């Protein structure tokens, strides 16, 4: 799931001592390899937050939590500000789908598997198995619902490494069996067929025949009439005509449905005289797919967009961007699109690393960018004098080299670069010869915008200009018995954060902090104090003492 993990900070259990206990050192999974964690103590840690770079390229704040001695999670923020809408889920095992078991099992060779109702499962590039996460749902149908009979469930779910149901089988029917005689064919369920007129139809991920309202449907049970009469049965509410027809030299026992309505939805079964049965589930509904996500992406163009059954949406990107994902998606019988809408990624060629004193005219690497090269005095360029960034994110040619004797390279010096406002330059030594790299650092309360390093070139200039040090405030920390929203690494000047106390607690002082232009917060972090119970027992207050002049003092 993760392309990259970067640990940020941890929340200590001293804030919620009853919530967690000692947890083992968590492992780090990086690029499909598992590495043991550092030798560190996590006995007082409640949450570990880290930056997760997901497979779709989005970066989110993620966390795992220590609960009763075990790590649960991870859960990643669905919000760009780093806040969490859900609590971490237990770290449950994934499930395996073995390609060999499907390939060599004759009863499953014609089984089509759908992941989360949309994507047909395929084993590409010689993959032997596919691993899916806990909670993944698989739907099943036979590759041809007319020629094969599904035996078993149509849905299963991965729960902590186990499937809730065994995968079904697709059994051959009489029409495609290896039977050598009519008598042998009688031992198989009958082959079914259908014809839809005056309407659209599709096959759902669970094998349902979905037809639009108003359609005419003809169901056929293929059976030799001289052997006997099969029978149609159904769970729908209406009655239907049945008749024998001879088509393409095949006897077919036909069921006729005219002007399909909602009440025609149900299971239709053909049973032979030997009680062999095959069924088709019919669903009458007007299929529409939902809105395509990211419709307002300014860099994406959508054409031929409708949302009815079999409608297609085609995508393209603006100049300088490339399509990431499917360029065309289809509205399926399930009412879902066949794939997610693609995104448009800016075309970027790889950074060019200068070699052998090669000097570059530009650091640009977007689509269409042209970079020219030159060599210092006394050297000649070998290779392309300029290259262009192409649409496929590659350069039109390899960067060149510089060859020949360099005239007094040791005499080339660069003047010390000026530090950016609110920052400084770090370098070693008094001289800055060609090839020397200096580093820019921003003062406290500022964040660096741009490149942090620049190099002295052989023409006495720096490869990049100075960056900008932008005033900002750092994350002020997590309040006791509460949370801070929004949650980010850096905050712009004037940006506000709000303290929200946990249930049963109230905030002391003003709950809002503002990032000031000096990089400091407008006030200290307010505290969350437990609320006093509104139904505490009232103290007994004795009645006043009455003094009788002629008797002893008494309390009433």
Q: How does pLDDT run along the chain (556 residues), one tens digit per residue?
A: 443 444 444 444 444 444 445 677 776 655 545 555 555 556 666 777 777 766 555 677 777 777 667 676 667 766 656 565 555 445 577 888 888 778 778 888 888 998 876 677 777 666 778 888 888 899 999 999 999 999 999 999 998 888 999 999 999 998 887 777 777 778 889 999 999 999 999 999 889 999 999 999 999 999 888 888 899 999 998 999 999 998 777 789 999 999 999 999 999 999 999 999 999 999 999 999 988 876 667 788 887 678 899 999 888 888 889 998 889 999 999 898 888 888 899 999 999 988 777 888 888 899 999 998 888 766 788 899 899 999 999 999 999 988 876 655 556 678 888 899 999 998 866 668 777 888 999 988 888 888 888 888 777 788 888 999 989 998 888 888 888 888 888 888 999 999 999 988 988 888 899 998 888 889 888 889 888 864 444 444 455 444 444 433 333 3
Q: What is the pLDDT of residue 61?
A: 76
Q: What is the pLDDT of residue 266?
A: 95
| Cα–Cα separations (whole angstroms), residue 140 to 208, 248, 265, 269, 353 | 11, 31, 20, 19, 51
Among candidates 405, 457, 417, 461, which has minimal Cα distance to 441?
Answer: 417
Q: What is the pLDDT of residue 175?
A: 83
Residues forming beta bridges with residue 157, ordered by sequence position: 137
10 Å CB burial of residue 534 (0-12, 13-18, 19+) is exposed
* DSSP state letters, 465-493: ---EEEEEEE---PPTTEEEES--SEEET
Under a CB-based contact definition with an 8 Å cutoff, are residues 154 and 140 in contact?
yes
Q: What is the pLDDT of residue 212?
A: 95
Nearest-angstrom CA–CA distance, 423 and 440 = 7
Residues forming beta bridges with residue 90, ordered by sequence position: 72
What's the predicted TM-score (pTM) here?
Answer: 0.54
* DSSP state letters, 274-299: T--EEEEEEEE---B--PPTTTT-TT
The sign of the torsion formed by the CA atoms of 150, 152, 154, 156 equals negative
Relative to beta strand 95-98, strand 45-54 is unpaired
* DSSP state letters, 334-370: TSSBSSPPPEEEEPBPPPP---TT-EES----BTT-E
Q: What is the pLDDT of residue 8?
A: 42
Q: What is the pLDDT of residue 239?
A: 93
> What tokens appear for 452 in the block?
């942090």
| Cα–Cα separations (whole angstroms), residue 356 to 231, 374, 383 | 85, 11, 12
Q: What is the pLDDT of residue 21?
A: 56
Q: In order of start, what are the domains of the chain with their CATH numbers?
A: 2-76 (no CATH), 95-172 (2.10.70.10), 182-284 (2.60.40.10), 300-346 (2.10.70.10), 475-530 (2.10.70.10)
């Amino acid at each position: 799931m993760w392309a990259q993990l970067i640990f940020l900070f941890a929340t200590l259990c001293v804030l919620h001592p009853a919530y967690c206990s000692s947890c083992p050192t968590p492992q780090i999974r990086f690029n499909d390899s598992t590495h043991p964690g550092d030798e560190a103590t996590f006995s007082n840690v409640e949450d570990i937050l880290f930056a997760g770079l997901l497979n779709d390229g989005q970066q989110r704040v993620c966390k795992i939590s220590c609960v009763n001695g075990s790590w649960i999670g991870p859960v990643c923020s669905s919000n760009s500000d780093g806040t969490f809408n859900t609590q971490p889920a237990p770290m449950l095992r994934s499930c395996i789908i073995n390609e060999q078991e499907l390939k060599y099992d004759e009863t499953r060779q014609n089984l089509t598997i759908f992941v989360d109702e949309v994507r047909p499962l395929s084993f590409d590039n010689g993959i032997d198995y596919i691993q899916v996460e806990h909670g993944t749902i698989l739907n099943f149908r036979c590759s041809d619902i007319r020629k094969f009979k599904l035996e078993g469930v149509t849905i299963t779910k991965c729960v902590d490494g186990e499937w809730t149901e065994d995968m079904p089988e697709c059994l051959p029917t009489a029409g495609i069996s290896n039977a050598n005689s009519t008598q042998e064919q009688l031992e198989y369920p009958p082959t079914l067929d259908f014809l839809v007129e005056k309407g659209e139809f599709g096959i759902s991920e669970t094998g349902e025949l979905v037809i639009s309202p108003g359609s005419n449907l003809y169901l056929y049970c293929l059976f030799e009439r001289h052997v006997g009469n099969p029978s149609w049965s159904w769970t729908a509410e209406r009655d239907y005509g049945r008749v024998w027809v001879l088509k393409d030299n095949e006897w077919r026992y036909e069921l006729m449905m005219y002007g399909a309505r909602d009440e025609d939805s149900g299971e239709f079964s053909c049973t032979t005289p030997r009680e062999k049965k095959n069924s088709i589930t019919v669903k009458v509904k007007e299929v529409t797919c939902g809105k395509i996500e990211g419709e307002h992406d300014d860099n994406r163009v959508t054409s031929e967009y409708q949302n009815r059954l079999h409608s297609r949406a085609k995508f393209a990107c603006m100049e300088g961007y490339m399509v990431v994902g499917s360029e065309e998606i289809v509205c399926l019988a399930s009412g879902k699109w066949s794939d997610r809408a693609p995104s448009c990624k800016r075309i970027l060629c790889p950074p060019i690393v200068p070699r052998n004193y090669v000097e570059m005219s530009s650091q640009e690497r977007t689509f269409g960018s042209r970079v020219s090269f030159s060599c210092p005095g006394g050297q000649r360029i070998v290779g392309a004098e300029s290259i262009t960034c192409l649409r496929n994110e590659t350069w039109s040619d390899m960067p060149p080299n510089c060859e020949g004797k360099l005239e007094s390279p040791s005499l080339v010096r660069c003047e010390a670069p000026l530090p950016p406002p609110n920052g400084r330059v770090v370098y070693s030594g008094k001289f800055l010869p060609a090839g020397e790299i200096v580093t820019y650092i921003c003062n406290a309360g500022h964040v660096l915008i741009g490149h942090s390093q620049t190099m002295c070139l052989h023409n006495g200039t720096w490869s990049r200009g100075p960056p900008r040090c932008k005033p900002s405030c750092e994350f002020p920390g997590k309040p006791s018995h509460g949370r801070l929203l929004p949650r980010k690494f850096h905050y712009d000047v004037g940006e506000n954060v709000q303290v929200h106390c946990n249930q049963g607690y109230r905030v002391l002082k003003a709950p809002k902090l503002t990032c000031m232009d000096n990089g400091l917060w407008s006030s200290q972090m307010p505290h969350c104090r437990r609320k006093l119970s509104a139904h505490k027992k009232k103290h007994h207050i004795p009645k006043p003492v009455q003094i009788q002049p002629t008797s002893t003092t008494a309390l009433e």
